[in-house]
Amino acid sequence: MSGIEMAGATRVFAGGAGVRGIDLEVREGRIHALVGLNGAGKSTLMRLLLGMLAPQSGSVRIAGFDPRQAGTALGPLVGHLIEYPLAYGELTGRANLELGARLHGVRASRIRETVDGVLDELGLARYAEVRARRMSLGNRQRLGLASALQHDPRVVVLDEPTNALDPAGVILLREALLRRAAAGAAVLVSSHHLDEVARIADDITVINAGRVIGSLPPGERDLEHTFFELVRADDLNREEVPV
């Protein structure tokens, strides 16, 4: 498998926050949603997955590699956006994407075609020559997503990608992710917007207090109710466990 695999992954910070014993599998050609309340550990999990943090125990593999040992090999294979879009404020949208394309290993002869394609795909063509610092928060988010997706990575990891997006941007992102999954990419998306992820997810994993506590069927009628009942039951169970 060359998607995502985590087995018993643990990283706990001083004070007790973090993730514990995470098992997670994201297969090629599928969109996997990771849902949880704010502070549940979603961003920490994704940082472990991308090699930004080292696990204290357990194993992590992405696109067939241990992310802490892969070096530059993951650049062409993985696209990600964690928490906030990174863009050089003095560069235009196009220049930011061209730089991102080079960093992701896109051949020089294909950079212009690649950038033009993703500008159209995410509705950014009219902002191509606008400096990033002059863009709205929503358009900077679109720019960050465009940089993560433009090289057609085999694995996509996005943390709360609909933050700051208007409805049109949400629809464009949804379609972009469906296209990439259909082409064989493994897609992991974290969110606390259940209604949105339910529209595109093949699998939904619930995380609470740094642990995987179950899964949700994407087609269920009252997904939000099921989610909150699962989290509530886990909270009550943890309160009953003697310290």
Q: How many domains does the chain have?
A: 2
pLDDT of residue 220: 81
Supply 180's token pair.
Answer: 């990439």
Does one domain contain both 70 and 89?
no
- In terms of domains, do 57 and 6 share one? yes
Say yes or no: 223 and 127 in one domain: no
- Residues 164, 240, single domain; the answer is yes
Instruction: Looking at the structure, tell me whether residues 144 and 27 fall in a common domain.
Output: no
- Report the 3 state secondary structure along the chain: CCCEEEEEEEEECCCCCEEEEEEEEECCCCEEEEECCCCCCHHHHHHHHCCCCCCCEEEEEECCECCCCCHHHHCCCEEEECCCCCCCCCCEHHHHHHHHHHHCCCCHHHHHHHHHHHHHHCCCHHHCCCEHHHCCHHHHHHHHHHHHHCCCCCEEEEECCCCCCCHHHHHHHHHHHHHHHHCCCEEEEEECCHHHHHHHCCEEEEEECCEEEEEECCCCCCHHHHHHHHHHHHHHHHHHCCC
- Same domain for 144 and 165, yes or no, is no
Amino acid at position 212, single letter: V
Task: Examine the domain organization and report whether 109 and 172 are in the same domain.
Answer: no
| pLDDT at residue 195 in the model | 83
**Per-residue pLDDT of the chain in tens (243 residues, 90 and over written 9):** 579 999 999 999 998 899 999 999 999 999 999 999 989 999 999 999 999 999 999 999 999 999 999 988 999 999 999 988 889 999 999 999 999 999 999 999 999 999 999 999 999 999 999 999 999 999 999 999 999 999 999 999 999 999 999 999 999 999 999 999 999 999 999 988 888 888 899 999 999 999 999 999 988 888 999 999 999 999 998 876 554
* Domain that includes residue 11, residue range: 1-77+160-243
Final residue of a structural domain among 152, 180, 205 = 152
pLDDT score for 193: 81
Q: Point out the domain boundary residue: 152, 175, 205.
A: 152
**Sign of the CA dihedral running 208, 212, 218, 219:** negative
- Cα separation of 238 and 224, whole Å? 21
CATH of the domain at 40: 3.40.50.300
User: pTM of the prediction?
Assistant: 0.94
